[in-house]
Amino acid sequence: MKDNEFLIHMLPQDMEINTTEILVLGSGIAGLFTAIKLCDKFEVTVLTKRDIMASSTEHAQGGIAAALNQDDSPEFHFVDTINAGAELCNSEVVKILTEKGPECVRELIELGVEFDKRQGSLDFAKEAAHSRRRILHAKGDATGLEIERTLVAAVRKRNIIIKENHFVIDFLKNAQNQVCGVLVLDSASLKLKIWLARAIIVATGGLGQLYRYTTNPEVTTGDGIAAAYRAGAELMDMEFVQFHPTALNIAGAPTFLISEAARGEGAVLINSEGKRFMEDIDGQELAPRDVVARANWRQMEKGPIYLDFRGLGLDKIKERFPGIYKTCLSYGFDISTTPVPVGPAAHYLMGGIKVDINGRTSLPNLFACGECACNGLHGANRLASNSLLDGLVFASLITEVLKKEIGPMPVPEELQIPEDWQSKIRESSPSTALNSTVIRRKMQQIMWQYVGIIRDKQGLLKAQADIDKYRQEFSPSLEISDLETANMLTLASLIIRAALAREESRGGHFRSDFPTAGEGWQKHSVLKRGEDIVSFISI
């Protein structure tokens, strides 16, 4: 499998072709908010890989950051975001986020999101690297679930077409090289379909499943990013992967996120001897995520580490972190009396499909927002709880653009289908499925070991050789697990290339052979299919 323009080279001759004005790919906060804000003017269709609730949004615990508290302001939020981003944030984009954020959060509230209140007023929490209490949360630690539930309900009440179990394989273009459609696998009918649209918005989320340990759900395999890359879209800052410092670390248990808000409320990290080990680090437990994750990683070389909730008290734990309390209890840990084992896990991609402030990619008619997109907002290290806000604000900006300017409806005759595409679909076999599973597990271990929290040239070159070998050997069949694995291998290769090219340490990218931030490296890496060299640009 090489860097081809298409993941598969096959089309049945009697394939179903569908049309819609706006095609939204993904059903997390970015995709659904986009659909809601556009449906009053356009016919909108949402395609989602599984059911509509399956996204990273549903799993977000801590909350959403917005300068709505009386002692807060967009200016304070701006400074905190810039500081966390390790001198790589696009200040224009950060200004838009922090100023427009409160308005977008109010829209969520109008849609029906019930954020937690205290004595009748919104209850704000504090998380790492925030100078103010500005984190809105819902049902304690179920913020994402409450937002996703509300947005799904709002979508279902509107004239929005929802197509679940539709896996986007590749983007299709017309003779003018404009993106005008997608090739989709309907996993319910096992049929390939084409969807054409005047504009396509990618909101497919991140790629956490590239790593052995991740807080992300199973659906986050980077499919939209990989498809955009194959279509010729530029990708930016792919070396910057954020590792959350605290995920449940129990043998046999899933890598369950333990929210940063726990440390914001007073939970502390301790080692196997019961001693705190963050006291000598500026910011201690509330230092930026990359700092805490590396401190945890190094401490774990000496032995297990734990998050100690005991100082919070049972009542506060049950009120503020009911989901975490119940989950840990199910694995034998009453966090009100016993510290729980934790460790870092892959959490968020700061990079993604390169977009401008209005969500435009480098390809006409193709937009992107949410975690799959990169406009320089998060720099080298995302500030906690800015991710949900990112999805809202920049989805909103895309809708403003599309309401003013949008291309004509494409017709099937305009599609540029390569003449050598096969007319028969290769059947998958049990051995193919097994190989996909085995390769995925090996890839996840390689990424965790060599392209994780601490990297170096030797390890990156080893990872590059191994991943490239798998890419050459693996040919996906028309099964979603195969298609996902192929996408993951492509993205793993791109992360490694970007990580090798950045010979410094900054935010979520730390190289032990270049352990400090370098002069002149305040630039963004750019990758494009067909170009062997990683370029660096200032924005």
- Give the span between the Cα atoms of 539 and 536, in whole angstroms: 10
- What is the token pair recorded at 390? 């990112």
pLDDT tens-digit profile, the chain (539 residues): 468 889 988 777 778 999 999 999 999 999 999 999 999 999 999 999 999 998 989 888 889 999 999 999 999 999 999 999 999 999 999 999 999 999 999 999 999 999 999 999 999 999 989 999 999 999 999 999 999 999 999 999 999 999 999 999 999 999 899 999 999 999 999 999 999 999 999 999 999 999 999 999 999 999 999 999 999 999 999 999 999 999 999 988 889 999 999 999 999 999 999 999 999 898 899 999 999 999 999 999 999 999 999 999 999 999 999 999 999 999 999 999 999 999 999 999 999 999 999 999 999 999 999 999 999 999 999 999 999 999 999 999 999 999 999 989 998 888 988 777 765 444 444 445 558 999 999 999 999 999 999 999 999 999 999 999 999 989 898 999 999 999 999 999 999 999 999 999 999 999 999 999 999 999 999 999 999 899 999 98
Angle formed at CA 437 by CA 433 and CA 443, multiple of 5 degrees = 140
In SS3 terms, 132-180 reads as CCCEECCCCCCHHHHHHHHHHHHHHHCCEEEECCEEEEEEEECCCCCEE
Q: Looking at residue 419, what is its pLDDT?
A: 72
In the block, residue with structure tokens 């097994």: 434
- Give the span between the Cα atoms of 37 and 469, in whole angstroms: 44
Q: Looking at residue 428, what is its pLDDT?
A: 46
**8 Å CB contact between 24 and 372:** no
Q: Which fold has domain 245-346?
A: Flavocytochrome C3; Chain A, domain 1 (3.90.700)
Beta strands 160-163 and 135-136, pairing class: unpaired
Q: Which fold has domain 16-59+142-240+350-412?
A: FAD/NAD(P)-binding domain (3.50.50)
Domains 16-59+142-240+350-412 and 245-346 equal at CATH topology level? no
Length of the chain: 539
Domain segments of the chain: what residues? 16-59+142-240+350-412, 245-346
Q: Looking at residue 414, what is its pLDDT?
A: 86
Q: Looking at residue 3, what is its pLDDT?
A: 83
Neighbours of 175 (CB within 10 A): 9
- Give the span between the Cα atoms of 32 and 352, in whole angstroms: 19
Q: Looking at residue 11, what is its pLDDT?
A: 74
Which of 389, 348, 350 has the alpha carbon at shortest distance from 373? Answer: 350
Q: What is the DSSP string of 53-122?
A: T-SSGGG--S-EE-S-STT--HHHHHHHHHHHTTT---HHHHHHHHHHHHHHHHHHHHHT----EETTEE
Query: Which residues lie closer than 8 Å to 150 by C-beta, 6 or more apart?
Result: 108, 111, 112, 113
- Give the span between the Cα atoms of 523 and 442, in whole angstroms: 32
In the block, residue with structure tokens 């009542």: 315
H-helix segments, 474-533: 480-501
pTM above 0.85, yes or no: yes
Indicate which residues carry an active-site annotation: 289
